[in-house]
Amino acid sequence: MRLRLFLKLAVSLCLIGSLFYHVDFSRLLSAALSPSLPLLAAVVGIVILQFCIGATRWFLLIRGTGVPLSPWQTFRILLAGMFFNQALPGSLSADTVRIWLVSRHGLPLSRAASTVLLDRTAGLVSILTMLVVTSVTVAKVAPDPNLETVAILVVGGAMVLLAMGLSSADWIADMIEDHRFGRPFAAMLRDSRVLWRAGYRSAIIIGLSYLLHVISALGLWVVFRSISVEVDFLMVLGALPLVILGTLLPISVGGWGVREGLMVGIFVMTGMAPEHALAASILWGLSVIVAASLGGLLWVLSRPGTERVGDVVATLPQRP
């Protein structure tokens, strides 16, 4: 485990160090150290708003599968997950924390895992479809004119595979539920079939997923504005799914380094100075840390006796 954490840390440091080496460091410091503080405070507020919307989506998923958690419990547990994800990125994941804390409210681990995996699936569906926006906006400034067609084909294929998987959910669940590691996924697949039959609930959940991306793009756009960089909002909205997908790769600490590299690579194609793209990415990441820390403080102050901080650290399984 320590070796994996060391390797992730090394990847993050190498990527960020490489970016620092290839930019004008004095110009980067000038942009990163002189942002508009009111606008950065607004970014932190936008991130907290994302947490609220994410908790609402997760609550709808939970209620749709018959899990008895209140909106306040759902929100608190999500805040705890986000906090531990930022505080201990090498050993705990937000999803693991959420699964364990939901189980502390009397739900079997398999059902708890099902609700979190469904939440992730809803987010992935929205990211894949948002990549269509990415293909249109990024392709306008990309050197390869075929990028838009390729992106649409990739996204379309992924959506077809996802639809086939949902339509065969019960059959796949029957195949894997007898295996130890397949039980949580079998429960998720069955829950997904129940959920997607409720069309109105599915529409709201997917709508909230899209809203999350729009709000996230707004936060990043405000970060750019805080360092006096003009950038088209649609370009930010289009680039964000690529950045999010990149940070999901388990090769760095909290996505640091990967996020910065993608931000620089994408926005430099629009004519933006690499120092400005890098500064915006760093400030965005720091804003998320501040928002997650505030959320963690709220969780600590409001947690019941069954949700002790020491128990979370000592009992949760380690993330590979």
Q: What's this model's pTM, rounded to 2 decimal places?
A: 0.81
- Is residue 117's pLDDT more than 60? yes
Mean pLDDT value across residues 171-188: 60
Angle formed by the axes of helices 109-139 and 94-103, nearest 10°: 150
pLDDT band for 163, please (50, 70, 90 cuts).
Answer: low
- Is residue 313's pLDDT more than 80? no
Segment 45-75, tens digit of pLDDT = 999 999 999 999 999 888 776 777 888 989 9
pLDDT band for 220, please (50, 70, 90 cuts).
Answer: very high
Q: How far is residue 29's CA from residue 230's CA, in Å, rounded to a whole number?
A: 18
Q: How far is residue 62's CA from residue 86's CA, in Å, rounded to a whole number?
A: 24
Q: How far is residue 107's CA from residue 5's CA, in Å, rounded to a whole number?
A: 31
Range ranked top by mean pLDDT from 6-10, 116-120, 187-191, 249-253: 6-10
Task: Give the list of residues 6+ apart from residue 109 with CB closer than 8 angstroms, or none.
Answer: 99, 100, 103, 184
Cα 36 to Cα 32, 178, 225, 229, 286: the distances in Å are 10, 56, 8, 12, 14
pLDDT band for 137, please (50, 70, 90 cuts).
Answer: low
Rg of the chain over Cα atoms, rounded to whole angstroms, equals 20
DSSP string, 4-69: HHHHHHHHHHHHHHHHHHHS-HHHHHHHHSS--HHHHHHHHHHHHHHHHHHHHHHHHHHHHTT---
- Is residue 277's pLDDT more than 80? yes
- Is residue 312's pLDDT more than 70? no
| Among the ranges given (85-89, 156-160, 176-180, 309-313), the one the predictor scored with the smallest mean pLDDT | 309-313
Supply 82's token pair. Answer: 């986000």
Q: Are 266 and 281 spatial neighbours (Cβ–Cβ below 8 Å)?
A: no
